[in-house]
Amino acid sequence: MLSYFKLFLIIIHTTICSFFALIFSIVDRSYGSYFWLSKIFSKGILLIAGIKLKVTGLENIDKNATYVFVSNHSSQFDIPALQYAIPNKTSIVFKKELGKIPLFGWQLKLGPYIMIDRENPESAVKSIEEAKRKMSLKGFSPIIFPEGTRSTTGEVQAFKRGAFYLASRVGFPIVPVSIRGSGAILPKGKFKIKGGVINVHLNKPVAVNIMSTKKDEIDLLEKVRDIIIQNINQRN
């Protein structure tokens, strides 16, 4: 019963924040107020769910710099955890279908986030160009989940090259991010929300060469994935 009450509060909180996000995205095209609201939204979600956040590795990044944050993915709570943990202005890459949701989807489309159409290969190129523009002009750092979907076992799945393609083509350094504990709080396919601790570790940035070959890109993909797994294992 408590879990359903938490879910109800999360829906109300999300609706209210989405309404204000929609307004902020229209009146403030610098997205400063949108970024401020994203922190409030994320903190509220974590508080309602009874989640404590432990963040390490902040010394590895410059909060005023622009990066591509690449993370493993086990739970719906990964997004609010990262939005709150990362001090930089972050942007989420979201699938086109989410943009159809009233209020929530509308503010995603008008905000600084990056929409992709997974059924249209040409959309990937447009997404990269849009990401470059927002990163260069607005200083937003996208968060990428290259596994493509949430892990059901807690193990880091193979990275999908398509999902990683944006990270390797915008030219900004990649920060490998390791998340532990979120899968136990709300596993994929479950609706019972358990309180708990989510650990987020930010690794040192990895340089990217945008002129790299396909092999170089795959090597980079595996390197970033190995770093994420190593950091998870070292802290277990």
Angle of helix 161-169 relative to helix 214-234, nearest 10 degrees, comes to 100
Let me know: does 132 contact 154? Beta carbons within 8 Å: no
| pTM: predicted TM-score of the whole model, two decimal places | 0.88
**Residues 43, 131: Cα–Cα separation, whole Å:** 25
- The model's pLDDT over 191-202, given as tens digits with 9 standing for 90+, comes to 677 789 999 999
Confidence of residue 177 (pLDDT cuts 50, 70, 90): very high
Per-residue confidence (pLDDT) for residue 122, from 0 to 100: 66
Kindly report the CATH number assigned to the domain that includes residue 85: 3.40.1130
pLDDT tens-digit readout, 17-45: 999 999 999 998 888 899 999 999 999 99
Q: Which domain range does residue 71 map to?
A: 2-234
Q: How many domains does the chain have?
A: 1
Percent of the chain with pLDDT over 70: 88
- Look at residue 3 and tell me whether its pLDDT is greater than 90: no
